[in-house]
Every structure is written in C-alpha cells, then in structure tokens.
C-alpha cells in the first residue's frame, strides 16, 4: 500500500503529517492487498479569510474494484483528516466485503469465484 499526502499550502506540521500517516496505516492495513494506494489532499479553499473552507480529499485506489473518493469540509484541519480517513475506511470495508454475483446459464445467480 502506497501513501501520498499533498499539502501544497503547508497547512500541516510534521506531527500532523505523521499522525495522518499512522491513522492511514491503522485504518487500511486490515484490507491487505485490496488497497493499492491512498492519496490525501488538504487545501484551504478561501485562503486566509477563515470559515468552513478547509477541504480534505481522500482517494483510495483498490485492486480490481472502483476507486473511492471521500471529501470532508470543516474549519479545522485537525478535524477533517481523521474524519476523512475514517469515512474512506468504512467505504473501503463495504466495497471489499461486497460479494459479487454472476448469472449462470440457467438464469440463477451464483457467487463469482
């Protein structure tokens, strides 16, 4: 599993980046090889004006499944990163645990092998 954190506006300190990385590995390690990469992007949309303008976007690339994108907005950077990671982990869990079915020639459903 690869991990990327994009913070071009320098909103996060070293400690916050390390906490985010630890959270990512704790939340996604249970899915093993199902997760190819995780990319977190943190932005301040309105600049220095303040308000609910901090955005955290988490992109999770899965093997043999569709990518998952989660976006969280808030005024505090320290709140949006854990919330976005947790929401993305729940979505990955639903996607990975979802069973896939195929239609048999007889017209009945069967689990894909």
H or E element, residue 95:
helix 77-97
Task: List, for residues 46-60, the tens digit of each pLDDT value.
Answer: 877 777 789 999 999
Q: What is the pLDDT of residues 61-107, one digit of tens each?
A: 999 889 999 999 998 888 999 999 999 999 999 998 886 666 677 77
Domains of the chain: 2-111 (3.30.160.100)
**Burial class of residue 29 in the structure, from the number of CB atoms within 10 Å of its CB (0-12 exposed, 13-18 middle, 19+ buried):** exposed
Q: Which of 77, 102, 96, 74 is nearest to 27 (CA)?
A: 96
Distance CA 63, CA 23 (A): 21
pTM, 2 dp: 0.83
- For residue 97, what pLDDT is reported? 84
């Amino acid at each position: 599993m690869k991990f990327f954190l994009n913070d071009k506006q320098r909103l996060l300190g070293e400690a916050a980046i390390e906490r985010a990385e630890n959270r990512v590995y704790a939340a996604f390690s249970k899915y093993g090889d199902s997760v190819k990469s995780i990319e977190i992007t943190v932005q301040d949309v309105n600049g220095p004006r303040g308000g609910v303008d901090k955005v955290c976007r988490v992109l999770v690339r899965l093997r043999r499944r569709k990518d998952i994108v989660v976006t969280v907005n808030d005024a505090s950077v320290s709140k949006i990163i854990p919330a976005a990671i947790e929401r993305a982990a729940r979505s990955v869990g639903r996607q990975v645990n979802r069973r896939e079915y195929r239609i048999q020639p007889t017209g009945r459903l069967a689990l894909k092998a």
